[in-house]
Structure 1
């Protein structure tokens, strides 16, 4: 059963009515096809209008939708083959960040991404996509492997932020994030990052310091969550919508600010309504970017990457 967001209530009502009519039509002799077709058309128009004028806060809600594709879905839809590599070789294997060797359309790559989990049990296992220091140190280890063997790096970002717990700070959270960002900037291989849901704070940047940064149409990318920003500025999370507006968290805003390089279109109604189409769109964009970057020398890749991030702001 589909989960609807608050602003989708009119759409939910129409789609529920369509479903009722279809059930009725299956059990009787009345021809309801014209009415069903009319309501489906109305529903699609309303969906198009609604998603054509989403506010930054509404886009934040879409980016957080529990039914959006997760890392395991991208592995299934993006890759021909995936071999996971676990552990940071120092403390533990953080399940909030998953990575390994992969083939995308025949190209050998190192694939790393956040995994939030799809149900209560898996969300707890993956800590809701909030990585601890060992997660970022695992990412660094995999980046080192990619550099050593000349494998392009592809990262998928979907995290509310790095884990804020005391134990993470005790194990060097800030240092691990900084080292991961530094390693990403220093790679000699092509790198492509994609913001596929939430791109929250340093927890996102740590694996998004890439040559090309892609972003789904309804994803968000920010230095802090809108609720966190509102709590600091207005002392209440109730101002989250105002904060989202001011922070320029949307793909269109970030493209105009040159924080990202390309917007990847989503299916009508968001990636959660048609995950295969969304993943296919992302795959095409990644392949095109890898082909372009593949023509550059290692030194040119490093120089372009550093210049790109130094120019921001």
Structure 2
């Protein structure tokens, strides 16, 4: 039985809470040069065939929003976020009020497709793109969007846990619909504080790299977990601790120039890889994939899709 047929027969439903589907890789571009034909249509076909029920397209800057929205308009199963990634917060300047106003207009005009404010937060690993103080100012500013539009948050926190928690705690009254800290790779203590605040935790391949990561995942309550790919990034690599727990393998080619319609490209993550993420989590928690799929699906519906 083919992989897709098996998933569909099992009745599994998945929601990828973070997919960068507007990335040039899905148009065949890598490092500025085209290596193969655009194949996003095939990427999405593989996703739907492998149990994906919905995909949330991550928006990391106002300039990306129209492209993400245009894509979402092609399929009722696609949704978008609206926010400014911490490494891109310099785009608020030199006119922060205008930038914020344009974000508001975009959300107001597309309230049926925008399901979260984000990707926003703090990233102290890549300060060369945006200084700490600028990130903090505009992360806090975007929390006003969550309050104004009564939307949950799609959050980014990288090597910035203390400042991140200080900002969300100080602005707790604005966070009316909760949120999820995506691509989590922090410590067990950090996970506990995030959960105690009321947030969910989003897990992908980057969350499953080391044995320490896996121990942390084991301690996260299932009712606080959501799954994502963060594609085309954050796939589960052979060097990752979680790789040995993956059961589902897809036909893959090593060289991009050897592209084939029915094969995935090594190193380019896709929404269909969500199956691998849940397989690792199921192994770590010693629970069946079917049980976890139902729990994570309901967690995601409750945060993003239940009004």
More RCO (CA 8 Å, sep 6+): 2
TM-score normalised over the length of structure 2: 0.36
Greater CA radius of gyration, 1 or 2? 1
Q: If the length of structure 1 is used for normalisation, what is the TM-score? A: 0.36
